């Protein structure tokens, strides 16, 4: 029985937060149901955030919002988002992502949502990876 349980645990994919620092810095997390992927291009400087739902599409919406719940609750919204990949991916681009990074680093859960859909991202172990992402050369957090 232990062998079966061990093999099941080891066969379960580990969904960890991951950051890379390079010419384009990235921060990502995959829950199995959705993926959040941030980039920062120091040469622009420009941030992007893409939330991809695996089994559902985002409907056209006049706004996109994120809510971060935990020690430092934050809610932000924008009408400046675009859909791609047949509606499964929603992307926001901006020159500053300070509130997004603070929300990811200092809270327990993040919700990316529109009036018709939501993707939930647990923030367990996100903080160290957010700090790595913040070290991206020349990152501006306005």
pLDDT in tens, 103-120: 999 999 999 999 999 999
Contacts of 62 (CB under 8 A, 6+ apart): 79, 115
Number of structural domains (the chain) is 1
Whether the per-residue pLDDT at 90 is higher than 70: the answer is: yes
- Indicate the helix (H) or strand (E) that contains 128: helix 126-134
Supply the pLDDT for residue 136. 85
Which range of residues forms the domain containing residue 88? Answer: 15-134
User: Does a structural domain hold residue 33?
Assistant: yes
Least confident of 2-6, 20-24, 69-73, 134-138: 2-6
Whole-number pLDDT of residue 2:
41
Residue 9 lies in a domain: no
- For residue 123, what is the domain's CATH number? 2.60.40
Contacts for 106 with CB less than 8 Å, ≥ 6 apart: 68, 70, 71, 72, 127
Q: 31 or 10: whose pLDDT is higher?
A: 31
User: Is 140 part of any domain?
Assistant: no
């Amino acid at each position: 029985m232990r062998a079966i349980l061990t093999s099941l645990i080891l066969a379960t994919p580990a969904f960890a937060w991951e950051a890379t620092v390079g010419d384009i810095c990235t921060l990502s997390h995959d829950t199995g149901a959705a993926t959040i992927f941030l980039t920062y291009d120091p040469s622009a400087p420009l941030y992007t955030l893409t939330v991809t739902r695996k089994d559902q599409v985002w409907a056209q919406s006049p706004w996109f919002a994120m809510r971060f719940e935990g020690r430092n609750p934050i809610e932000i919204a924008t009408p400046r988002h675009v859909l791609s990949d047949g509606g499964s991916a929603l992307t926001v681009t901006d020159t500053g992502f300070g509130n997004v990074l603070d929300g990811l680093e200092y809270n327990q859960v993040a919700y990316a949502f529109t009036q018709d859909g939501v993707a939930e991202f647990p923030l367990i172990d996100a903080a160290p990876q957010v700090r790595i992402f913040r070290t991206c050369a020349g990152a501006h957090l306005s």
